[in-house]
Amino acid sequence: MPQVFSKHPQKSGQPPAASSARLNKVSRPDWPEIIVGLVTLAVVAIAGGVLLTQLRLSPVVFGLGLAALAVVAPLAAFAAAVLLRIRSLSAFGVRRVSWRWLLIGVGAGVVGFAVKGLMVIAFTAVTGNNSTPQTMYADGGSGGVLSLILATVFIGLLVPLSEELFFRGVVTNALLRYGPFVGVVGSTLIFALAHGINIVLPVAVLMGLIGAEIFRRSGSIWPGVIVHVVFNLPTVLMLVLAR
């Protein structure tokens, strides 16, 4: 494999590469990975949700189960995409990155976190829709200190990793074949719609735009994971406190 990391941002719609022609030819995801990944994501999420519902669990355990499912479904989608044709993780953006990009991820996450509250308020005011599936994550975190820690680990740390692996490492990566606009905006729309039409939608749009653009420029999923962690880490605690 050629070295595919550069310390300098790229102006093109492709991740940095020493030999982009070779990268595009032999080791970059495309529509087969997107389709197989999205189908796997839907099947695992729906089947897992049905199973958890049929088990008639307590609200705390059910909420923790859904939080774990939010990790497993995109991780399964990523695994399916990797196993389809291209077995190199570096082709999916799992590459070393400089500290500079990690710090950029922290800064972008902090700014995005400040902006997302305003976007939620605007979305609610315009649509009147304040429904959110995240109340069940609050149930999962409301059973005491241990449940709060578990729910926070799932939603605040593991979901960012699994979602960035699939939505940026596969979807954004593949769509960047068609240029920066299609890669960033197209993958953002897919990422946002995967979260449903609810109060989370504007937050997913913002996270999708930041994550996709930072992936485009860095060629690595890790700065986006940092951004996503900053977005998600306080979520469960804030939901529990709001109740």
What would the DSSP string read from start to end of 161-192? HHHIIIIIIIIIHHHGGG-HHIIIIIHHHHHH
What share of the chain in percent tops pLDDT 70? 89
∠ CA(42), CA(77), CA(240), 5° rounding?
Answer: 70
Q: CA nearest 226: which of 164, 177, 183?
A: 164
Q: Is the pLDDT of residue 10 over 90?
A: no
Tell me whether residue 192 is exposed, middle or buried, using C-beta atoms within 10 angstroms of its C-beta: 0 to 12, 13 to 18, 19 or more: buried
Q: Is the pLDDT of residue 24 over 80?
A: no
Report the pLDDT averaged over residues 43-55: 96
Please provide the average confidence, as pLDDT, over all residues in the chain: 89
What would the DSSP string read from start to end of 44-69? HHHHHHHHHHHTT--HHHHHHHHHHH
84-87 long-range contacts (CB < 8 A, ≥24 apart) are: 84/32, 84/33, 84/36, 85/32, 85/33, 86/27, 86/28, 86/29, 86/33
What would the pLDDT profile of 144-182 be if each residue is shown by its tens digit? 999 999 999 999 999 999 999 999 999 999 999 999 999
Helical H segments across the chain, by residue range: 20-26, 31-54, 59-84, 99-127, 135-141, 145-152, 159-163, 173-175, 180-181, 187-194, 201-218, 222-232, 235-242
What would the pLDDT profile of 112-122 be if each residue is shown by its tens digit? 999 988 888 88
Query: Which amino acid, 211?
Result: G
- The predicted pLDDT at position 15 comes to 55
User: What 8-state DSSP symbol labels residue 91?
Assistant: G
Radius of gyration of the chain (CA): 18
pLDDT band for position 2 (cuts 50, 70, 90): very low
3-state DSSP assignment of residue 157: helix
User: What 8-state DSSP symbol labels residue 27?
Assistant: S
Is there a contact between 150 and 140 (Cβ–Cβ < 8 Å)? yes
What is the number of alpha carbons within 13 Å of residue 141 lying toward its C-beta? 26
Q: CA nearest 226: which of 237, 205, 211?
A: 211
Q: Is the pLDDT of residue 108 over 90?
A: yes
